[in-house]
């Protein structure tokens, strides 16, 4: 059933699409185009981030659109802030329901989607396993990453046919014009849509209320994602925003305060890590220290990659030093050992 907490902001409606993990739901936005005054044709809609492909999500979409009196063929385009499965996964299904309408994503985002969910997915899962092994994760836990990653494939299938969109473009929907902003860090190729005149933003997972967006070091991706994340936040802090529509939790108005909180959170975490690296530690040892040991595979992946993102950031600033043992395991420490 559609959740009663779905909200309505003028032409913008928020739909909570269920997720089978601890985030619980992702926000999809359905935005009605403002019709010309003499128009007698049916309303047309833009969908942002349709969700993960599960039977529950399909049911919520089908029932909600019916309740709202919207047919799938009234959707004229689907926009994706980023390639993560909980945003991208249902796009192919919805594209088919809507009669092959454009699904738009950044080129970088699409490259990642193909690597993670297309033909290269088995190779990618193995690269992730190798990355974690090199940072001290136990073999038995690293092995779990392969079936875990492969398990997402049905939830992101069918793959949509993608039309690219990039920073610098403007998109008009719901009677408003949005600037596309490239905001990497949470995901490479992540885009935000900013309505400068209306002071609103669709910010995907780059800025979330109440929860801290995950920043992950991943194989073959952004070599310093936390640096990208912080730079993106500093840029976003300059925007005029009075209403933000995030990918999770509720739309919020405290934009500048929230951006500042996220920057402070990471600065504090970096200091914490630096202070604990008096003696050499692996990424996994530090991960356990920060996130504990009773994690699901899903949580462990986020925790490991988040820890590594911080370590790489500190290493690039020469605040910590990296060294390798003979068996290829990487250690980080505050002072050179020699």
Closest CA to 197 of 173, 174, 179, 182: 179
Q: Nearest distance from residue 87's CB to Zn ion, in Å?
A: 6
Which pair of structure tokens corresponds to residue 54? 């599960």
Closest CA to 197 of 243, 236, 235: 243
Q: Nearest distance from residue 311's CB to Zn ion, in Å?
A: 21
- Residues between 111 and 170 that touch Zn ion (CB under 5 A): none
Which CB, 13 or 84, lies closer to Zn ion? 84
CB-based burial of residue 263 (10 Å sphere; 0-12 exposed, 13-18 middle, 19+ buried)? middle
Which CB, 32 or 53, lies closer to Zn ion? 53
| Alpha-carbon gap, residue 183 to 232, rounded angstroms | 5
Q: Nearest distance from residue 82's CB to Zn ion, in Å?
A: 6
CB within 8 Å of 17: residues ≥ 6 apart = 25, 26, 27, 28, 50, 51, 52, 57, 60, 61, 90
DSSP string, 243-254: EEEESSS--BS-
How many Cβ atoms sit within 10 Å of the Cβ of residue 39?
A: 11
Interaction pattern, residues 177-206, with Zn ion; x per rule: CB under 5 A: ----------------------------x-
Residue 14 forms beta bridges with which residues? Answer: 7, 29
Q: Nearest distance from residue 282's CB to Zn ion, in Å?
A: 26
Which CB, 84 or 258, lies closer to Zn ion? 84
Q: Which residue is nearest to Zn ion (CB)?
A: 84
Which CB, 205 or 306, lies closer to Zn ion? 205
Q: Which of 13, 32, 44, 84 binds Zn ion (CB under 5 A)?
A: 84
| Candidate ranges 9-17, 34-42, 81-89, 272-280; the one touching Zn ion (CB under 5 A) | 81-89
Q: In what order do the strands lie in the sheet with 170-173?
A: 170-173, 176-182, 191-195, 200-204, 243-246
Which CB, 229 or 331, lies closer to Zn ion? 229
Interaction pattern, residues 201-240, with Zn ion; x per rule: CB under 5 A: ----x-----------------------------------
Q: Nearest distance from residue 177's CB to Zn ion, in Å?
A: 25
Which CB, 195 or 205, lies closer to Zn ion? 205
How many Cβ atoms sit within 10 Å of the Cβ of residue 43?
A: 15
Q: Nearest distance from residue 118's CB to Zn ion, in Å?
A: 18
Which CB, 156 or 281, lies closer to Zn ion? 156
Closest CA to 202 of 211, 210, 193: 193
Q: Nearest distance from residue 205's CB to Zn ion, in Å?
A: 4
Asked if 124 contacts 319 with a C-beta cutoff of 8 angstroms, the reply is: no
Where on the chain is the footprint of Zn ion (CB under 5 A)? Answer: 84, 205
């Amino acid at each position: 059933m559609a959740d009663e907490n779905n909200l309505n902001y003028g032409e913008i409606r928020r739909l909570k699409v269920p997720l089978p993990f601890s985030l619980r739901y992702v926000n999809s936005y359905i935005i009605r185009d403002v019709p010309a005054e003499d128009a007698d044709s049916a309303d047309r809609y833009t969908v942002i981030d349709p969700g993960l492909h599960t039977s529950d999500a399909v049911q919520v979409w089908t029932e909600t659109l019916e309740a709202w009196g919207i047919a799938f063929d009234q959707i004229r385009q689907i926009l994706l802030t980023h390639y993560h499965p909980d945003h991208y996964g249902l796009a192919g299904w919805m594209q088919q329901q809507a009669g092959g309408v454009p699904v738009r994503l950044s080129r970088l985002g699409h490259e990642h989607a193909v690597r993670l969910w297309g033909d290269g997915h088995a190779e990618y899962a193995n690269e992730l396993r190798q990355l974690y092994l090199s940072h001290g994760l136990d073999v038995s836990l690293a092995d779990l990453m392969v079936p875990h990653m492969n398990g997402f494939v049905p939830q992101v299938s069918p793959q949509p046919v993608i039309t690219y969109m990039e920073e610098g473009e403007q998109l008009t929907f719901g009677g408003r014009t949005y600037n596309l902003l490239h905001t990497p860090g949470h995901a490479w190729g992540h885009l935000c849509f900013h309505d400068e005149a209306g002071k609103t933003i669709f910010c995907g997972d780059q800025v979330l209320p109440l929860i801290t967006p995950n920043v992950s070091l991943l194989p073959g991706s952004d070599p310093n994602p936390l640096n990208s994340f912080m730079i993106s936040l500093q840029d976003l802090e300059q925007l005029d925003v009075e209403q933000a529509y995030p990918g999770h939790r509720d739309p919020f108005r405290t934009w500048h305060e929230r951006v500042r909180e996220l920057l402070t959170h990471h600065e504090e975490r970096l200091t914490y890590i630096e202070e604990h690296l008096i003696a050499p530690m692996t990424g996994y040892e530090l991960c356990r220290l920060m996130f504990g040991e009773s994690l699901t595979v899903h949580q462990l992946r986020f925790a490991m990659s988040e820890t590594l993102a911080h370590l790489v950031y500190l290493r690039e600033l020469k605040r910590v030093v990296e060294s390798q043992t003979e068996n290829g395991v990487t250690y980080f420490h505050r002072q050179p050992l020699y």
